Amino acid sequence: MQPEQDIPGRILRTLKFRPKGMTITEIARALKANRNSASKHLEVMQAAGQVEARLVGNAKVYSIAQRVPLSAFLCFTKNLILVLDADLTIVQANDQCLRRFGRAKEELVGQNLQEAALPVVSSPEALTVVEGLEREQVITDICHRRDDGRESFYRMQAIPTTFEGGEKGCTIVLEDITEQKRYLRNMAFLARTAIDLVDLQPVEDIYGYILDRLQELVPGAYGYILSYSETDHQFAIRAVAGEGFREGLTELLGRDPVNLAFPATRAFDAPYHQTPLSLRDLQEFVLRPEPSSWSFYDLCFRAIPEEVCEAILERFDIVKFCFMGLVWRDHLFGMTGIFLPPGREVESRETVESFVRLASIALARRETAEQLRLSEARFRGMLDSSPFGVALVDDDRRFAYVNRRFVEIFGYEPDKGTTSPEWVRQIFPDDDYRQEAIDAWHADLERSVPGQVRPRTFTIRDRDRAKKTILSRAVTLPDGTEYITCEDITEEARAYRLLVMDIADLRRREQELLIKDQAIASTRRAVALLAPDGVVTYANAAYLALWGYPVADEVQGSDFSRFWEHPDEIREIVRTVLNGGAWHGEQTAHRNDGTRFPVDLLGTPIVAEGGRVIGMMAAATARQSRPDV
């Protein structure tokens, strides 16, 4: 039997030729040793890190431990590594750790972890993890706030460690996950703000919300946001943020900066030549101690006095300025500006740009919604003020809208759930006429195309059961909606019927007058018709022949007394007749050639309906001539 103290060496030599490992029984058989003795030595060797064990079924399989020198491990990793003993004394640190903590190796090794006061690993959170470490490694994330207020994130692994002599210790591995955490946080920020901007109500201050979120991305900075009015061609400050910033600007400007407006044309003219496309990206300018390109006075488009601009930089210790346009689809809605004091930077430029674009989309949506609201209000106001009744019936044949005039015409308002068949039954109580109206409507609809007007006149009964004549004009819109206008033409229809009757009566009278006129024209007796002022308006052929005038124009328009020897007597006769009397007697007339001749004259009034005298008819017959005196 071999000496007891030589068993560990024999075990290592045996396992060297069995890379897949051996069980305790196999090792004891190979060594020709007691199984319990072999088991005891394997446990000690495992604790010392000389062998490794793994379970295969119910048996433990041992193999030689594959060990890497700690120095090699420390040099070829980008993570920060500290090795501690059981008393939390630092026994090793890699170069990455020394550079990050700014310590020399001689200064750090041999110090207690807590007393070393190292960032991250000497924090109460990290010490709690290390002190509570047992057999399993522990992984946790630790946040470290630096002196300038910025945060760093580390993933700390505390790994139980066994040294060469079997002593217990701990290895701390720190992985810098700041960028990973920042990326996840920024993605969560963009997702949250995207939802907020969608849910933001029109009455809420979107500009204040945008600026507050920019303050989250760039803490400790000052900021402002401008709106842009394309109609007025001017910018206006809508919100400012930062500790004491609004109060200080109020003092320096002599007024509240919010709603301060200045012309926008300067931004697009020389020397700026800005366009919506050039404002899409975040731009940074150094302002102090010396401006890198433009001064703050220039960046304010010279709308604020230069001395006030300098006072603003001095008051708030501003060294950098970043701005970006609120632009969506080549349309400018405003601008955002961020002022940075010393030590502050815009760390997440991509996130800032992404958020500003989200805000630009939200402003575009809000402006579009406002324009749509105004358009709808204008359209609804136009329909409500229309002198015609207007109704919209959707493709489900339900009323979507009716205006006030529609209700006035029919006497009641259809509910939004009322269907057109139900409405037809109300306004056409007679079954036969209702079916006739429906057939006419369908016939018009089949012959028409969307956009074509279909006029049709119907007689309906309103709420008071009164009959009304309605001129309906229907149009099918592209989306299937029926646009219907209704005009109450009851009085016009009545007037039309009366007009038709009057025209028929006038035609009858005209026919009668034509007969009478032909009778007068063809009679052998000289006849003249006089107006109420005694002027001849008509003379028949017999009159012209008797008086010796070749054409009627020489007689018509002349006073009737002109054709008689005693005009005064004739004027008195005319007055008598126009007053409703009649006259018959003999008078002496003179012809066109001056000769005189006796005439039997009969004057009768022309009487209209109602007994009103509208003229005189004079009938003359020549008597036997006698020699002139």
Percent of the chain scored above 90 by pLDDT?
Answer: 21
User: Which of 146-160, 322-336, 495-509: highest mean pLDDT?
Assistant: 322-336
Q: Where in the chain is the domain with CATH 3.30.450.40?
A: 184-371
Q: How far apart are CA 308 and CA 417, in angstroms?
A: 64
* Helix, strand, coil share (%) of the chain residues, nearest 5: 40, 30, 30
77 contacts 94 by C-beta, under 8 angstroms: yes
Q: Please state whether the peptide bond connecting residue 289 to the residue before it is cis, i.e. omega within 30 degrees of 0.
A: yes
Mean pLDDT of 244-259: 92
Q: Could you tell me which of 236, 216, 232 has the C-alpha nearest to residue 224? A: 236
pLDDT in tens, 46-85: 766 678 888 888 888 888 876 655 555 555 678 888 888 8
Query: Residue 564's pLDDT is what?
Result: 92
Q: Is 263 in a helix, a strand, or coil? A: strand
Given a cut of 60, whether residue 607 has pLDDT beyond it is yes
> Does the pLDDT at position 246 exceed 60?
yes
Alpha carbon distances (Å) from 22 to 8, 66, 209 = 14, 16, 69
- The topology under which CATH files domain 184-371 is Beta-Lactamase (3.30.450)
Q: What are phi and psi of 628, to 5 degrees?
A: -70, 145
**Fold type of domain 388-488:** Beta-Lactamase (3.30.450)
pLDDT for the residue 628: 46
The Cα–Cα gap between 507 and 516 comes to 14
* CATH architecture entry for 4-64: Orthogonal Bundle (1.10)
Structure tokens at 339: 């002022």
Exposure letters 501-518 (e unless 16+ CB within 10 A, then b): eeeeeeeeeeeeeeeeee
**Tokens of residue 220, six digits:** 């400790």
- Closest-CA residue to 157 (of 178, 180, 136): 136
Segments of the chain assigned to CATH 1.10.10.10: 4-64
For the stretch 91-141, pLDDT in tens is 888 888 888 888 888 888 888 888 888 888 888 888 888 888 887 888 999
Nearest to 267 by CA among 318, 209, 208, 335: 335
Which residues lie across from 175 on neighbouring strands?
155
Domain with CATH 3.30.450.20 in the chain: 70-176, 388-488, 523-622
Q: Are 118 and 102 in contact (CB under 8 A)?
A: no
pLDDT of residue 3 exceeding 70: no
**CA 453, chain centre distance (Å):** 32
Which amino acid, one-letter code, is at 3? Answer: P
pLDDT of 358 strictly over 90: yes
pLDDT at 461: 86
Superfamily of domain 523-622: PAS domain (3.30.450.20)
CA distance 150 to 268: 37
Least confident window among 29-33, 204-208, 309-313, 546-550: 29-33
Half-sphere exposure of 574 (CA within 13 A, CB side): 22
3-class DSSP state for residue 574?
A: helix
Question: Do you know the residue count of the chain?
Answer: 629
pLDDT single digits (tens) 425-452 = 888 888 888 898 888 888 888 888 888 9
So what's the pLDDT on residue 1?
Answer: 43
pLDDT tens digits for 509-543? 767 666 666 767 777 888 999 999 999 988 888 89
Q: Looking at residue 251, what is its pLDDT? A: 92
Look-up of token digits 């029919």: 410
More confident residue, 584 or 269: 584
Q: Does domain 70-176 have CATH number 1.20.58.110?
A: no
